[in-house]
A and B are shown apart, each in its own frame.
Chain A
Amino acid sequence: MAATTDNKDSESLFDAEFLDRLRALFLKLRKRRQLRKKGLQSTPATGYTREFKDFRHYTPDDDYRAIDWRLYARLDRLFIRLYEEIQEYHIHVLVDTSASMQQPFAEKRSAALQLAVALSYLGLVGQHRVSLYQMSDKVIEGMPPLKGQGNIRRIIDFASKMEFGGTTDLERCFREFRPARQRFGIIFVISDLYGSGVEVAEQALRHGSSWPGESHFIHVYHPWEKKPDLDGEIELIDVETSEQRRLWFTKRDLKKYEAAYEAFQKGVERACLSRQMDYQPWPTDRPFEDMFLELLSRGSALASGN
């Protein structure tokens, strides 16, 4: 089942055109957000950098070393100086590499890899550390955290060589994925969230609430998976487990299937929202740019700083 990504795939996925589109996307994003700062990500919090940010009335709990004595001399009132706090995020991108992400619809694999590279690119450009993980029956950190825009090539190479296959064990993956506190940052999970059962994803998501940072679950799916075009006698073969199932599929079954899938998505979204995690459905038939901008416009810290 394992699928190797050859160079041809790599070229088709991350060719120059894609990178151009990615840059254009980034500029578009920056323009939209009217980002003025370059380089490091600014946050609403104050810190101890040299960049002045504002004044504020002194309160007894404040550090007296921050009192602006000159201002006190002039106004006879105590003020403290506030400085920009510059924070370096760690971007964790988990890509579901189970067989269901490649078969029977390779579009899911392409979308997942493109999204992973785009997010990594965004992170590198923003001077964040980027880690890329493979996730199937367990989570594998395929490469050390990278920083700097120049590493995008390595990201692309790594993504291109990702092998898709095996089964999905969401419970184990989410339970075992525990980035160190030092790697606090933003976590993107790119997956179709199909486990061994309908309820598995919903159950596994509870582990996401303990991850250090904001979590985004990007549900990549093919429209056929939501509304299969089937009728009559069919023999289904699970791409991950090779399990076979013979059915006589009717319109009534189609409605039941759609309802089940809809309930699955609603359940996952509800589970994410209840734990203050972001859930983004990602149908593969929609334009990548639109979906990407939509993802970033949902309030990710990654998109707010540049």
Chain B
Amino acid sequence: MQLLSPAFLWLSVLAIIPIVLYLFRRKSKRIDVSTMVFFKSLAREHQESAWLRRLKKLLSFLLTLAVLLGVVFALSRVVFSPKAEDMRTVVMLIDRSASMAVEDGEGNSRLDLAKAELKTRLDGIPEDVGVALIAYDRRPEIVQPRTLNRRELISRIDGMAVRPVSQDEAAAIESALTLAQLETPTVIWHASDHPIVVEEEQAEQPEGAADTAEVGEGEGEEASDELDDDKLAVDLPDGVRLEFVDFALEAPVNFGFTAFQIRRVPLVHSKFEVFVRVGLNRAAPEAVTARLEVNLGGMPVQLRDIELEPGASEELVLPVEGAEDQLLHLRLRASGDVLATDNDILAPLPRSRPVVVAVISPQLDPFTEIALMAIQDQGELVMWKGTPESWPLDEKVDVVIFDSWLPEEWPTDIPAVVINPPNDSGPIRVRPLSGAGVPYDSIRASDENHPLLFRVSSNRISLTQTVLYQVDGSLQPLWLAGNDPVMSAGEVRGQRLVVMGFSVAQSERLALTASFPILMGNALLWCAENSQAIAERVRENRTGDLIDVHSKELTWTEWKDGQARKSRVALADELLELDRVGLWQSDDGGQGTSYLLSRVESDVPGSLQAGVNSEDVAAEGTAQSVARKLFLGDITWLIIAVIVALLVLENWLFHRHAVY
């Protein structure tokens, strides 16, 4: 026990006053009277035995002394801390991830409270105990190695700020344990809203808690699995104790984006699909309805109301039609939402450059040409036609189509669509079928969900197989005619390849259907997916990611105060850690988004003290941490609470009646 303001102790001499008053109190006069009947009419009285009266007087005296001493101790700021021999090192492990920005009703963030609490605790530990400070989000940072310099440590604590980054407790606790084992015994003060479970305590949980857990398994295995995923179990080495200081709110409500992606609708000009996943945190007390606003270029284009139960999430695909580089803003509004970091997404619609396709054929099949021209009309395709003589190409293309011809030297750097290959080349081994080929009235699709077969009606296809082929590598048969593949797709040594073992010209029922142009479009887009044309899309990153930026400055567009604000940031080196939520653009034309998109952070937890789940409380030893929180550190408020309780007790004991 330590007194932070011991100067107030001299006030304890005031205890002499009640002692003197008690010892030299005026005894009640015993008076014989004959007119008791008149005294009886005056007021109510205490009909108490003498011993009870004496006991009450003594109790009142003791309560008075206790209240007085309590006031003195409260003024002196009593601090209880572990004994010096119990620890030689304290490792402060502070969570500064996004969820620590959650503010309570008084405007204090979790991190603010954590800093205040740790500083108070710091006051209470002996001076010869070394203290280290680790702040963590996605990566741990040893803000201050073990030191005895309290002033510097407090300065470091004050300098910490919340970063809109997800957390990785595993890396943090590993760093903390490394520091902790340097000089044991050590106490790790883990200040966060997400607890870390100590395995030993789990093993020691009472039988009742274990029974309860077993009962709970039947209620929802999936939910418990999700819960367990979030928890990190730590096996503490000897001499190290982990103490969790919970700063979670009791029942926070948080709606947030946990996934986001924009993609162009294949083969459709200026249309995009926005995939988002929104979730409501598990600690929310009840189902919450949030409004999703979709703004494009500053204009609202969609509104959706989403109602979710606590812990549930919903995935949405939002069709958006707009011009390239138009700014898309998604916003989630929910009543009582405590975390703003995951409520806004700002992203430009991706630029789309036409896929450049070279068609090499001795004589281009008219059906194939018609299909490619149909795609070209959409503005999504630039087609170069050539004969075998024009191979190899002078210009770089995104995809090459070999129709009824294959070069002797296989191009390994260009994705290729091979139609009716006549001979072996590269990874393709071919055996032509004799005659006009084998017609099939129907084919089987082995994987209808493959991107190549998107919107293609495979069950209506009939074709004429012209070759039997085999490809070195892991090509996936997509269409099967009989037992033989007639169309396969896959990658061979990093090269995307689509092989079609049929003749389009001889397969009128294929070529004249609407599925064929779609199939060709899918094949081209799939092949070109990783090519430069697609790579120019916006890079979608999460906060905390490290990216290469070849620029000296970066322009950030962040959503602040209801509008997009731009700011310039100078870069020290080419490796940038994304520590903001928004859109960045480099001077060399690169751009990308950086969002929290973290299920862990968006699932803002509730306080363990509030008893969100009794099993969790038992398993994680929260009661112990609560008790330590109550009785360790500055217990001024505890003393004040005891004083108030004593005053209430005294009032109840002695002043229930208006007249003694």
Q: Which residues of A contact B (CB under 8 A)?
A: 99-101, 103-105, 192, 194-198, 225, 228, 230, 232-241, 243, 245-248, 253, 256-257, 260-261, 264
Distance A103 CA – B33 CA, assembled complex (angstroms): 7
Residue of B nearest to A238 (CB): B36
What is the CA–CA distance of A168 and B225 in the complex, to the nearest angstrom?
87
- On whether the beta carbons of B42 and A234 are closer than 8 Å, the reply is no
Q: Considering the complex, which residues of chain B in the window 27-64 have a beta carbon less than 8 Å from any beta carbon of chain A?
A: 28-43, 45-46, 48, 53
Asked if B660 and A103 make an inter-chain contact with CB atoms under 8 angstroms apart, the answer reads: no
What CA separation (Å) do A195 and B40 show in the bound complex?
Answer: 13
A195 touching B26 in the complex, CB below 8 Å, given contacts A247-B42, A247-B45, A253-B42: no
* CB pair A237 B42 closer than 8 Å: no
Q: Tell which of B26, B29, B37, B43 touches A253, judged by Cβ atoms closer than 8 Å.
A: B43
Query: Given A233-B26, A248-B660, are A240 and B34 neighbors across the interface (CB < 8 Å)?
Result: yes
Q: Which residues on B sit within 8 Å (CB–CB) of A198? A: 37-38, 41
Report Cα–Cα, A260/B53, bound state, in Å.
29
A-B pairs, top 5 by smallest CB distance, nearest first, are A100-B34, A238-B36, A248-B660, A233-B28, A104-B32
Residues A236 and B33 in contact, CB atoms below 8 Å apart: yes
Is B32's CB under 8 angstroms from A246's CB? no
**How many angstroms between the C-alpha atoms of A238 and B39 in the bound complex?**
10
Q: Do residues B45 and A246 form an inter-chain contact, with CB atoms below 8 A?
A: yes
Say yes or no for B659: interface residue by CB 8 A criterion: yes
Residue of A nearest to B33 (CB): A236
Nearest chain B CB to A192 CB, angstrom units:
7
Chain A residues, Cβ within 8 Å of B35: 100, 194, 225, 228, 261
**In the bound complex, CA of A96 to CA of B64 (Å):** 50
> Do the beta carbons of A197 and B37 come within 8 Å of each other?
yes
Contact A237 B32, CB 8 Å, known A246-B46, A247-B660, A248-B659: yes
Contact, CB under 8 Å: A257 / B660: no
Assess the A257–B33 pair: CB atoms within 8 A. Answer: no
Asked if residues B38 and A261 are in contact (CB atoms below 8 Å), the reply is yes
Q: Interface on chain A toward B: helix, strand, loop, or mixed SS?
A: mixed
Extra A-B contacts (17), CB below 8 Å, given A238-B32, A247-B45: A104-B34, A105-B34, A192-B34, A194-B35, A230-B31, A233-B28, A234-B28, A234-B31, A235-B30, A236-B31, A237-B32, A237-B33, A246-B48, A246-B660, A247-B43, A256-B42, A257-B39
- Which A-chain residue is minimally distant from B29 (CB atoms)? A234
Task: With A198-B41, A257-B42 as known contacts, state yes or no: A225 contacts B28, CB within 8 Å.
Answer: no
Interface residue range, chain B: 20 to 34
Which of A195, A196, A237 meets B31, CB within 8 Å?
A: A237
Chain A residues near B46 (CB-CB < 8 A) = 246
Contact, CB under 8 Å: A194 / B660: no
Which residues from chain A contact B660 at a C-beta distance below 8 Å?
233, 246-248
Interface string of B15-27 (1 = CB under 8 A from A): 0000000000010
Chain B residues with CB under 8 Å of A237's CB are 30-33
A27 to chain B, nearest CB (A): 35
- Is there an interface contact between A235 and B45, defined as CB atoms closer than 8 Å? no
With contacts A233-B660, A248-B659 taken as known, whether A257 is within 8 angstroms of B29 at the C-beta atoms is no
Q: Return the chain B residue nearest A100 by Cβ.
A: B34
Chain B residues with CB under 8 A of A197: 37
CB distance from B35 to the nearest CB of A (A): 5
A203 to chain B, nearest CB (A): 13
Contacts of B28 in A (CB 8 A): 232-235, 246
Q: Write the chain A residue with the least CB distance to B50.
A: A244
Q: Complex: how many Å from CA A240 to CA B36?
A: 9
Contact A235 B38 (CB under 8 A): no
Q: Quote the shortest CB–CB distance from B48 to chain A (angstroms).
A: 8
Q: Would you call B32 and A195 a contact (CB within 8 A)?
A: no
Task: Return chain A residues, CB-CB under 8 Å to B48.
Answer: 246
User: Which of B26, B29, B40 meets A235, CB within 8 Å?
Assistant: B29
Contacts of B53 in A (CB 8 A): 246
* Across-interface contacts of A100 in B (CB, < 8 A): 34-35
Give Cα A291 to B41, complex, Å.
31
Instruction: Give the CA-CA distance A225 to B30 in the complex, in Å.
Output: 16
A264→B42 contact, CB < 8 A? no
Q: Which of B29, B32, B34, B42 contacts A194 (CB 8 A)?
A: B34
Asked if B34 and A260 sit within 8 Å, CB to CB, the answer is: no
Q: How far is the CB of B654 from chain A (nearest CB, A)?
A: 12
Residues of B within 8 A of A241 (CB): 36
Residues on the A chain within 8 Å of B41, using CB: 198, 256, 260
Q: Please tell me if the beta carbons of A235 and B34 are within 8 angstroms of each other in the complex.
A: no
CA distance A236 to B34 in the complex (A): 9
Task: Give complex CA distance A260, B39 in Å.
Answer: 9
Given A232-B26, A234-B31, the answer on whether A194 and B45 have CB atoms closer than 8 Å is no
Are B31 and A235 closer than 8 Å at their CB atoms?
yes
The smallest C-beta distance from B248 to any residue of chain A, in angstroms, reads 53
Of B33, B39, B43, the contact of A104 (CB 8 Å cutoff): B33
Residues of the A chain whose Cβ atoms lie less than 8 Å from the Cβ of B26: 232-233
**How far does the alpha carbon of A192 sit from the alpha carbon of B42 in the complex, in Å?**
20
A235 contacts across to B, CB distance below 8 A: 28-31
Contacts of A105 in B (CB 8 A): 34
The CA of A247 and the CA of B45, in the complex, are separated in Å by: 7
